[in-house]
Amino acid sequence: MSVTAPDPRRRRRLGAVAAASLLALTVSGCSGLGRTAVGPVTYTTDREAVVQVNSPSVRGCHRLAPAGARELENGTLVDIIVYPTRDCTGRGAAYVATRFSDVAAESGPPWRSYTFVH
């Protein structure tokens, strides 16, 4: 029985296939994770309570405290829209760019929900 040396081209192909497989597994493992807005959304309620939500999901409508918020700071890397309703609909919404804040008018309703712009 004779022993032959392994073909270097075959070894490279196997290495490339193994690397591609590992890359595919890594990407598919991360794709199930929800995207988040990196950073905090901080708001102050009518009762002066400060609430901070860190890196919320960029998907869906996010409700604020039941009493709503008079002040909101967007410390995330994604712009948001705040609403005076609990379901992210209706008139009177305000656009709050990343790293900015907004204050609800004293005569108007407080902010009750927000959604990310993406």
Query: 38-114 architecture in CATH?
Result: Sandwich (2.60)
Q: What's the pLDDT at 13?
A: 61
Angle formed at CA 78 by CA 74 and CA 81, multiple of 5 degrees: 65
In whole numbers, what is the pLDDT of the chain averaged over residues? 81
At 29, the pLDDT band (50, 70, 90 cuts) reads very low
Q: What's the pLDDT at 102?
A: 79
Residue 38 DSSP symbol? S
Q: What's the pLDDT at 85?
A: 96
Which sequence spans correspond to the domains of the chain? Answer: 38-114
The pLDDT of 67-74, averaged and rounded, is 93
At 44, the pLDDT band (50, 70, 90 cuts) reads very high
Residue with the larger pLDDT of the pair 86 and 100: 86
Angle formed at CA 56 by CA 51 and CA 61, multiple of 5 degrees: 90
DSSP string, 44-106: E-TT--EEEEES-BSSSEEE--TT-BSEEEE-SSS-EEEESSTTS-SS--EEE-TTEEEE--T
